[in-house]
A and B are shown apart, each in its own frame.
Chain A
Amino acid sequence: MSASLDIRLKRANKVYHEGEVLAGVVAIVSKEAVQHQGITLTMEGIVNLQLSSKSVGVFEAFYNSVKPIQLITSNIEVVKQGKVPGGKTEIPFEFPLHTKGNKVLYETYHGVFVNIQYTLRCDMKRSLLAKDLSKTCEFMVHCLPQKAKLQPTPVDFTITPETLQNVRERSLLPKFLIRGHLDATNCVITKPLTGELVVESSDVAIKSIELQLVRVETCGCAEGYARDATEIQNIQIAEGDVCHSLPIPIYMVFPRLFTCPTLETINFKVEFEVNVVIVLHDEHLITENFPLKLCRA
């Protein structure tokens, strides 16, 4: 079996927007000529919803809703039944990225319970004696930029023992005063989350300050749903007993694929939050939560 099949997209970053054309080549490499019964390309966009084990029970009633949601599917024949000569053959193709009806192409997103994925599959059908060849490649869909101009909304915060909730014994807490701000909580996904944090004072030495990016995925509908928050990444911005009164930058890049513009549909939601986590030397963990709204601009 010497023939190999490959899909090469023109765009190096494989990012496409609705209405654009996926262009590329199907590359066939073979020593001898290859007889085939047609080469086809299939484009597919699917939302996969998964249930977390802890919410399976609740979800049984809505089992239907976890069926994959198809966003786009289309199929074209690239080459009719025939023969591909030996050597390297490149067959160019163009595939318009259009939805049918009022379907929306959500942005590519790889989560835990929600996955939005677009693939392009190439199939080469062959005679009964030879195995069919197939190759799949993922491409990325980005939403079109939002039209409305985004006004950054800075958020100031002050963290002291008094501002904390969920404290078992407030009197056991060491004294500390941490101030800071986020430049915006409605963030452009391509721009980093920025801000500053100042440890004004702390009785106990700081061990670490981290930014925890959290995804909140909700599956279900009005009657019932499962909401799960899981960590995407944790970025340490301070290590050790940092200098007091000195502003420390808050800076985090939103990872590609694992984040997408905040998404809310009938069947599922994908939202993001950031936790500013301060770990004290005595292992006290102080967390301040900020919901984010991500968008593309």
Chain B
Amino acid sequence: MAAVQWHSRARRYESELQSCGLEVAPVEFSDYHPLKSITVTDSKSRRGARKGSTSSSSSSSSSVAPDPLSSMLDGTDPLSMFAAASASESPPTLSQSRKRREKEDEVGVDFEPWSSKRGEILARFTTTEKLSINLFMGSEKGKAPSLASSAVSEKVRTRLEELDDLEEGSQRELLNLSQQDYVNRIEELNQSLKEAWASDQKVKALKIVIQCSKLLSDTAVIQFYPSKFVLITDILDTFGRLVYERIWSMCSDPRPLPDSFTADEVNDTAKETCLNWFFKIASIRELIPRLYVEVALLKCNRFLTKCGIQETVPRLTAMIRGIGDPLVAVYARAYLCRIGMEVAPHLKDSLNKNFFDLLGTFRQIHGDSVQNQLVLQRVEIPVYLTLYSPAIHWILQCVSYRAPEDYINCAEIWVEFTCRHFTKREVNTVLSDIIKHMTPDRAFEDAYPQLQSVIRKILTYFHDFSVLFSMERFLPFMDMFQKDSVRVGVCLSIMDVFIKHQQEPTRDPVILNALLHVCKTMHDSVNALTLEDEKRSLALLINGFIRMVSFGRDFEQQLSFCVEARATFCNLEPVLVQLIHTVNQLAMETRRVMRGSHSRKTAAFVRACAAYSFITIPSLTSIFSRLNLYLLSGQVALANQCLSQADAFLKAAVSVLPEVPRSISIEGKLRSSEGFLLDFINNFLSALLVVPDHPEAGVLFLVRGLLNMVQDYTWEDNSDAKVHVYISALPLLAAMSQESYLYSIPKVDSNETLYGGDPKFLAEINKLCETLIGQVLDHLKTLGRDESIHRQGSLAFSLFGCLLAHGDLRNNKLNQLAVNLWNLSHKQGYCNTRTSVRTLEFIKHQAQQPDMVHLSDVLHRLTLQSRT
């Protein structure tokens, strides 16, 4: 069959176009047009159908059609929306609110406990001086008759008397105690407290506690005072615990109280017992013991009323003002704050009040009373002042505990007010204040949700990014987001707003720097574990940013931005693709500005653009991205008269072809790549028409190269793809043999000019065509042997169509071949009758053309095989 001779049919493209061109109808603006932005008026009825759709852009009717892909960013995906809704909008359920309350009711592990301070104080504040303990065990007699209150007191009263008898006038002054003796004595008191309690001698227990607390009003051997405070508050703690547990145990019938009990769940007997304790304490004569014992029992208020603690703490705070000695007062405050934190850490006001009262009474230190005492005890002021440090440190620890949390909760609200009613200057002030408050101790780590909310609120009100980034503290504020996931989340929301609201491309260096930084953060968060989806949405946002960057006529600046962006976003393939497109567009824009004639400078520039693309494309992993971009960049290079660059691109594309795998993964599914490959090759072929042959390479170098690659490619078994390519190459070759080409590129000489219809060139083309046809016919033969008659018929018909359209059928051999192919395709009756009929009609129509009369002869030889 190699005897087949090819002759291309001569074409008059213009007249053909006119004869077959459709009538041009003007399109009304309101008419449907597939590229027009979609306007949905009846959005309501649509909504139901769109349930679960990720896009909400359907209602967009803006005249500026944004990138349709970025419209995906209009709405958050439904899962995140649910998550956000459940996090923010759903009303707190009972268990949630309870949890929250419980959280407030307890001090977290982040609060340094007193137990760790205790030892430190004891070790630090020691003395070698002799100490004394004054215990007036009978001194309450007669002065606090109410101790024997209530009707249960018969027994108690007797016991009280016994006690009094026992210790009548037993004012025991233990003198000349060493520090260790003193500690031992206090420990003994602690033991006797426990013993008294265990043997049901509650009054004695109370007396011991009162006597111990009284020791705290004594500031003799003042340098030992902090340690004394520690020792005695230990006893008070024991006492407080004993009383609390006792009352609690009274409520254990029928079942123990839950930890989060309320006063309503406490029975009357327990309440009465508790009330008795408070009446007893209220009648303690001296201020300091009364204060300390009441503080020790603070927690017991829970048995009586819901807000008992809340009302008591401020009263006790005020009560401390009655203590004249500033050192005694500050330790009393420390104790109140300590118990307050244990029992009701949410009562911040009182903690603060203690601190402010402390400041307010600080001048007492320089008063005569203190000074005289110091002289008497021969203690220097600096030494004296160090005695305050444990107490003040403790109070400050209490005051500052979770203070940032409270602060940020307020600030979060304030920032919205500021955004709504003030300018960026005030917002900047708020931001700087938040930074100031949240930076110490990395407090921001616990406040990410609030800080994110601050950003969201600012973004809601500030859409002008030049204003936004001109706030000095905005980026420092961003620096507080140090946890990667949070940081990226914030960056995403910024970019989201930017893409939605930035109308004009920008070159503002402040915006570009800041957003580049933001995008870089997003990009750098990508790691091996990042999901494809996440990568895609990150890339979409970054692409949106890149599209919004324009340096106007400063093309070089634009290119260098792309260079920078490529380095920054190298891990996100869609971004690299976008960058190549941007650079190609830049080259085309340059061409447009120069009206097609490059100067030396612009020629160099477009070559630089081509170089950019050329070195970027190989880094892409997607084979079809690479192929398409090589082709596209080659076309751009050609359009800009960069012939050798275009050659390089196209050669690269050809050389990449063998790498195309037989199947590729598309949206997670493995699919055959054949269809894509054929599409690409057809596209490539049509581009080759205008590519001039390289002077040093042979005639039709690229076409041959491509066809060689196609021949060597490992196609799928039982596939006709290769033959399809061969058939597709025929129209190209036919077009190349025309005197004047179907299309050309201004200022680029294609082969039509280079060869000027040289017969040698034409002969070369014909030879190539003949080889191709020979290959196709061989293939048709093999199909005839198999059970592939159907395929044989359709391939034969394809080739027939090609001969009809592009071959010169005046040539008898070609003519005969066409008729044979027609018959072959109709032999088995598998062909589409309608197509055949229409083909015949076409031939009839063509035959009426002046120089196509020979077709009517062909027509006679084509018989339509009817199945009927």
Contact = CB atoms under 8 A, between A and B. Distances in A.
Residue from the set A14, A237, A243, A249 with the largest chain B CB neighbour count within 10 Å: A243
Given A205-B368, A240-B369, A258 B287 contact: no
A251 interface: yes
Nearest to A247: B321
Interface string A114-137: 000000000000000000000001
29 contacts: A12-B271, A13-B275, A14-B151, A137-B151, A138-B151, A233-B283, A235-B283, A236-B285, A236-B287, A236-B290, A237-B319, A237-B322, A239-B287, A239-B288, A240-B324, A240-B369, A241-B324, A243-B321, A243-B324, A246-B360, A246-B361, A248-B322, A249-B315, A251-B319, A255-B279, A255-B282, A256-B149, A256-B279, A257-B150
B360 A255 contact: no
B573 interface: no
B369 A205 contact: yes
A239 B145 CA distance: 22
Interface string B349-371: 00000000000110110011100
Contacts of B708: none
Interface string A228-262: 00001111111111110011110111011110000
B265 to A, nearest CB: 15
Interface in A134-191: 137-140
A209 B322 contact: yes
Interface in A179-222: 205-206, 209
B146 A255 contact: yes
Contact of A242 (B149, B217, B323): B323
B111 to A, nearest CB: 29
A239 B319 CA distance: 11
B144 interface: yes
Contacts of A209: 322
B149 A238 contact: no
A14 B273 CA distance: 12
A249 B523 CA distance: 63
B700 to A, nearest CB: 105
B720 interface: no
A139 B821 CA distance: 125
Given A12-B272, A237-B322, 10 more contacts: A12-B268, A205-B324, A236-B285, A236-B287, A239-B287, A243-B363, A248-B322, A251-B315, A255-B279, A257-B146
B269 interface: yes
A11 interface: yes
Nearest to A10: B268
Interface in B304-355: 315, 318-319, 321-325, 328
A243 B283 contact: no
A136 to B, nearest CB: 9
A12 B322 CA distance: 36
Contacts of B282: 235, 252-253, 255
Nearest to A255: B146
Contacts of A140: 151
A170 B149 CA distance: 42
A236 B361 CA distance: 20
B442 to A, nearest CB: 38
Contact of B321 (A14, A139, A206, A246): A246
Interface residues of A, number: 34
Interface centre among B151, B325, B368, B369 (most CB of A within 10 A): B151
B484 interface: no
Nearest to B318: A249
Contacts of B267: 12
Contact of B361 (A139, A205, A243): A243
A229 to B, nearest CB: 16
B143 interface: yes
A12 B272 CA distance: 7
B286 interface: yes
Interface of B: 143-146, 149-151, 217, 267-269, 271-272, 275, 278-279, 282-283, 285-288, 290, 315, 318-319, 321-325, 328, 360-361, 363-364, 367-369
B285 A235 contact: yes
B829 to A, nearest CB: 108
B149 A255 contact: yes
A234 B143 CA distance: 7
Contact of B150 (A236, A243, A249, A256): A256
B322 A242 contact: yes
Interface in A1-51: 11-14
A256 B324 contact: no
A248 B145 CA distance: 26
Contacts of A137: 151
B90 to A, nearest CB: 43
Given A242-B321, A248-B322, A237 B287 contact: yes
Nearest to B288: A239
Contacts of A241: 324-325, 364, 367-369
Given A138-B151, A243-B364, A253 B279 contact: yes
A256 B660 CA distance: 98
A206 B324 CA distance: 8
B249 to A, nearest CB: 16
A255 B283 contact: yes
Contact of A239 (B278, B279, B286, B318): B286
A145 to B, nearest CB: 19
B146 A258 contact: yes
Nearest to B281: A253
A247 B328 CA distance: 18
Nearest to B142: A231
Contacts of B288: 239
Contacts of B287: 236-239
Contact of A238 (B272, B322, B360): B322
Nearest to A259: B146
Contacts of B145: 232-233, 258
A257 to B, nearest CB: 6
Contacts of B321: 242-243, 246-249
Nearest to B275: A13
A195 B84 CA distance: 52
Which 7 pairs of residues, A with B, have the shortest CB-CB distance?
Answer: A240-B324, A12-B268, A253-B282, A238-B322, A255-B146, A241-B369, A241-B324
Contacts of B319: 237, 249, 251
Nearest to A194: B315
B375 to A, nearest CB: 15
B283 A240 contact: no
Residue among B267, B282, B290 facing the most chain A CB atoms (10 A cut-off): B282
Contacts of B279: 253, 255-256
A232 B146 CA distance: 9
Contacts of A238: 287, 322-324
Nearest to B276: A256
A239 B322 contact: yes
Contact of B143 (A233, A239, A242, A252): A233
A45 B711 CA distance: 124
A241 B328 CA distance: 12
For A206, A233, A234, the residue with the greatest tally of chain B CB atoms inside 10 Å of its CB is: A233
A238 B318 CA distance: 11
A13 B272 contact: yes
A141 to B, nearest CB: 12
Given A235-B283, A235-B285, A11 B268 contact: yes
A253 B283 contact: yes
B366 to A, nearest CB: 12
Contact of A139 (B151, B278, B315, B369): B151
Contacts of A247: 321
A3 to B, nearest CB: 20
A237 B287 CA distance: 6
Nearest to B143: A234
B308 to A, nearest CB: 14
A248 B319 CA distance: 7
A249 B328 CA distance: 18
B336 to A, nearest CB: 14
Contact of B285 (A14, A233, A243, A257): A233
B286 A236 contact: yes
